Amino acid sequence: MTRSSPSPSSDPVLPPGMRDVLEEFLAAAVRDKGTSANTVEAYRRDLLRYLQTLAGQGLTDPAQAQADHVSRLLRQLHDAGLSPSTLARNLTSIRQFHNYLLRQGLAQHNPTESLEPPRVERRLPDFMTVEEIEQLMAGPDLDEPLGQRDRAMLELLYASGLRVSELIALPLAGLQANAHLVRVQEGHERLVPLGRQALFHLDRYLSQVRPRLAREYSGEALFLNAQGRALSRMGIWKILQAAAARAGLKKKISPQTLRHSFATHLLERGANLRDVQELLGHADITTTQVYARIDTKYLKEVHKTYHPHG
């Protein structure tokens, strides 16, 4: 028999005080930290389950929670077969929530202080070589308007390291071509410089292609599909697969692969980790440090290949 994981009810019943403080925490995460919509949704899901568990044990105030309440929930999730990374994420959500209660003077302690997250084997992100990037960029057919759009989109993804959600949300006004910048407002707001190659293809798309695709309902979305609507996540994925196929690339490629390549290539060429963190929009530098591990591997290969005693 397959065990099912404890999950928050689709219509959870929480004491009013619990629901109110949960919504206040989520609003503060967006307002004060620029937390992305995906992370907020993960917080909501994890914390609904946590607060329902507390309420089921007779606690109506989360400030009353103790370490045993949290560890008991994590054991339940473990026994239900959830992965170490999911358990670690749940603990992070609960810890952030209780840190918020402390800052607001709503609690005297954080019950997660003594709890260690489960060990998670972090896989190094997949990335492309510079040669593979050049192959991919040559994939779209530049004799076709949609091919020009696709090349502009690929150049922007690689030049800026945008998340796919940030690309989808990017309005026309977010592209500041005169200043060679793109303003990202989804999640962690930041300005990211753009190089000449990306600007060239974006300018051609904006002047020659987008006006032909635009309809009265197109709005301010930067990239449009053939029907004049904003490109969807699936549409962007299909464009990437088609470009990779035309270029003869066999490896799996996603928008995240281009983001990983953006970060890795910057570090390989000597960029500072803090600067890469800012360009990627990472709130925590430990998220960026995984790319430093890739860079170390690359440097070892360089040493082995080129050093006389390598």
Residues 3-20 pLDDT 10s: 445 556 544 578 888 999
- Nearest in space to 264 (alpha carbons), one of 234, 308, 294: 294
Q: Strand, helix or coil at 177? A: helix
Query: Who wins on pLDDT, 253 or 149?
Result: 149
Domain ranges of the chain: 16-103, 130-306
Residue 273: left (phi > 0), alpha (psi -120 to 50), or beta? Answer: alpha
Determine which of 87-91, 146-150, 224-228 has the lowest per-residue pLDDT on average. Answer: 87-91
CATH topology of domain 130-306: hpI Integrase; Chain A (1.10.443)
pLDDT confidence of residue 190: 84
- Mean pLDDT across the stretch 22-27? 96
Crossing angle between the packed helical segments 67-79 and 84-103, to the nearest 10 degrees: 160
Domains 16-103 and 130-306 share a fold: no
Q: What is the mean pLDDT of the chain?
A: 86
pLDDT at position 306 over 70: no
Q: Are the beta carbons of 161 and 262 closer than 8 angstroms? A: yes
> What per-residue confidence (pLDDT) applies to 116?
86
Residue 1 has a pLDDT of 39
In this prediction, residues 20-34 reach a mean pLDDT of: 92
Token representation of residue 300: 């070892």
Superfamily for 16-103? Tyrosine recombinase, N-terminal domain (1.10.150.130)
3-class state of residue 6 by DSSP: coil
Higher local confidence (pLDDT), 124 or 262: 262
- Residue 122, pLDDT score: 60
Q: Which residue has the higher pLDDT, 194 or 2?
A: 194
